[in-house]
Amino acid sequence: MLSRLSIRTSLTMVGIILVALTVVVGALGLTALNGASQSLDRIARGDLVAIHALDDASSYLLRSRVSLDRFNALSLSGDAEQAKKVLDRAQELYGFGNQSWQAYLDAPKTGVEQAQLDELLARRTALMHDGMEPEFAALRANDLAAYHAIADTKISPMFVSYDSAASSVIKGLEQHAVDQQASAQSNISLMTTLIIAITVLALLVVVGIRFALRGLIVQPLNDATDCFERIAAGDLSETINVVSRNEIGRLFDSIKRMQASLSTMVNAVHSSAESIDTGAREIAMGNTDLSQRTEQQAASLQETASSMEQLTGTVRQNAENARQASQLAVNASDIATRGGDVVSQVVTTMQDIATSSNKVVDIIGVIEGIAFQTNILALNAAVEAARAGEQGRGFAVVAGEVRSLAQRSASAAKEIKELIGDSVDKVQSGSTLVGRAGTTMDEIVQAVRRVTDIMGEISAASEEQSGGIEQVNRAVVQMDEVTQQNAALVEQAAAAAASLEDQTRQLQTVVSGWKVAGSQTRTGAVAARPKATARGNGGAARPSMKTVPQASAHGAARPVASAASAAGVASAAGAAPAATALSRDAGARVEPALKPKNNRTATESSARPAVAAPATAGTEADWETF
């Protein structure tokens, strides 16, 4: 029944049982403690209070009676002041006695018969009314005769009767307290016995749970440990039975499925090891051929690198010449620019001269007009001098001279005007020519600038070509280095392929140590076969390689697997078709753990030549799974 319950449910039930036992023990303990506490509380609050209160009431009453006797003695001796103090003290003790008696009356008295209590009450009442109070009244009235009458004859029998009743009540209360204590002790003993019995029962339950859990958990875990040890030792032939449906059952089911997966994996590794052995030999042959072709490629790259160095020097020299030509073109452009600026200044100066000449022509025109007016005025003056006769003769001579000067001035102004006009025409012609020269210089400057730009572009292109060829040269050098490294890597790969072949045989030997159900005979045959197949029949097991020449300057033959290779590999892999099928069926579970990590980049893959793989579908699937 327990095998059908989960471990969680079983442990929960165990915890509930233990908690229930703990709660029962705690409840019994609390009940015992509560009963003892109530018994002690009843004793402390009832019987003991009543006993102490009654004892105090009797004591105070007796002491008050003694104080009254002393008051009597002091009164007889004549010490009135001291007698008054003693009487007050007696009255105070009497009041304390009444308070204690009231406390006794208020306290519960369940352990004494009511008749005893009533008798004690009657005797105290009689003692108070017939004894103590009359004595106090007689002494306050200073009636010693009445006091002695009560004290000598009545008070003593009353005290004896009261004390006898009080002693009887106290004994009853004490006996009741003893009974309460005995009852509490009896309850504690009973509860202790029950707690011990339940504790023993809990221990028995714990022992039973221990044995139950041993059969439920410990023994199955030991069995699981045995299964793991067998699997670790390489024994996969033992049948694992699942007998429960709890966590342990699920563990055994997982172990069973793990054993089945490992069996499938071992069978797949058997088949894959054979395929790897064949593939390793083909890889070794392909790497040998690849090594030769890589050496030829390295020699070609060295020649290419040498040619590229010469080409780099030539292009570098062309770039330097283009840079110098570009610098000269820039200088010529600057000179042409400065010449264009000078011509522009000359054009501006000629324009200023033409403007000044035009102004001079205008001024000469004004002078010519003034000379013409002066001539007219001189003519008019001569006419007027002629009219004046002798008196105007001298003025006529002066007017003639003025006229003569005006004519010469007009003639000179005319000649200057002609000269200035001719100069203005020449200046205008010069300005036109200078303008054409400025336009021509601008065109020359633009042409020089275009030449400079073209030379700059040629220089930049030469520099870019030089940089590009240098990069190509570096790339070729790097390719040469990489090719040499590839040659070394190919040699290493050949050695690794040989090592892989040896390790494959070691893998077959190791895998042969696993015992798989129903495959012991096949395992022994596979363990004994690899070296005989690989060494004894080397010609049949190793696939033949056909070489196809490449139509290139440094062409090398690439190996291609022949049809005979495919047939040989198929026959080598045909010994274990069932294992190959198991490998495919278990690919989803075995592949994540066995498939090698492929960290090779696309560049590396493209840089390395391809090697012909065995042309068998079964071995390709097994190789991918492995």
Average pLDDT for residues 432-450, to the nearest whole number? 79
Checking if the pLDDT of 624 tops 50, the result is no
- Give residue 379's pLDDT: 78
3-class DSSP assignment, residue 235? strand
CA distances from 96 to 86, 92, 93, 344 (A): 15, 6, 5, 147
- Residue identified by tokens 């402390």 is 44
Report which of 32, 17, 99, 108 is spatially closest to residue 64, judged by C-alpha positions. 99
Confidence of residue 518 (pLDDT cuts 50, 70, 90): low
Q: What are phi and psi for residue 37, nearest 5 degrees?
A: -65, -40
- The answer to whether 554 and 297 are in contact (CB under 8 A) is yes
Average pLDDT for residues 564-593, to the nearest whole number? 36
CA atoms within 13 A on the CB side of 450: 5
- Give residue 240's pLDDT: 75
- Give residue 571's pLDDT: 34
- Give residue 513's pLDDT: 66
Average pLDDT for residues 527-554, to the nearest whole number? 38
- Give residue 534's pLDDT: 36
Average pLDDT for residues 14-18, to the nearest whole number? 80
Q: Which residues contact 158 (CB under 8 A, 6 or more apart)?
A: 123, 126, 127, 130, 131
Checking if the pLDDT of 529 tops 60, the result is no
User: pLDDT tens digits, residue range 322-351?
Assistant: 778 778 877 877 887 777 777 777 778 877
- Give residue 551's pLDDT: 36
CA atoms within 13 A on the CB side of 606: 3
Pick the more confident residue, 282 or 538: 282
Pick the more confident residue, 505 or 537: 505
Confidence of residue 576 (pLDDT cuts 50, 70, 90): very low
User: pLDDT tens digits, residue range 362-403?
Assistant: 787 788 788 788 878 877 877 877 777 777 767 777 777 787
Q: Which one-letter DSSP state was computed for residue 108?
A: -
* pTM (predicted TM-score): 0.32
Strand partners, 548: 558
Checking if the pLDDT of 606 tops 50, the result is no
Domains and CATH numbers, the chain: 2-211 (1.20.120.30), 300-495 (1.10.287.950)
Distance CA 415, CA 368 (A): 10
- The mean pLDDT value of the chain amounts to 71
Average pLDDT for residues 558-582, to the nearest whole number? 35
Checking if the pLDDT of 563 tops 60, the result is no
Confidence of residue 111 (pLDDT cuts 50, 70, 90): low
CA distances from 554 to 23, 438, 549 (A): 96, 66, 10
Pick the more confident residue, 515 or 86: 86
Confidence of residue 459 (pLDDT cuts 50, 70, 90): confident
Cα angle for residues 158, 161, 162 (degrees, 5° grid) = 85
Cα angle for residues 405, 406, 409 (degrees, 5° grid) = 85
User: pLDDT tens digits, residue range 271-329?
Assistant: 787 788 777 778 877 777 887 778 788 788 778 877 877 777 787 778 778 778 778 87
Percentage above 70 pLDDT, the chain: 76
Distance CA 391, CA 55 (A): 195
Strand partners, 558: 548
Pick the more confident residue, 1 or 441: 441
In this structure, what token pair is assigned to residue 30? 């609390």
Pick the more confident residue, 602 or 431: 431
In our burial notation (b when 16+ CB lie closer than 10 A, e otherwise), range 454-477 reads ebbebbeebbebbeebeeebeebb
Q: Which of 310-324, 515-529, 560-574 has the lowest mean pLDDT?
A: 560-574
User: pLDDT tens digits, residue range 414-434?
Assistant: 788 778 878 777 777 877 887
- Give residue 519's pLDDT: 56
Confidence of residue 39 (pLDDT cuts 50, 70, 90): low
Confidence of residue 461 (pLDDT cuts 50, 70, 90): confident
Pick the more confident residue, 149 or 40: 149
Checking if the pLDDT of 614 tops 80, the result is no
Strand partners, 559: 547
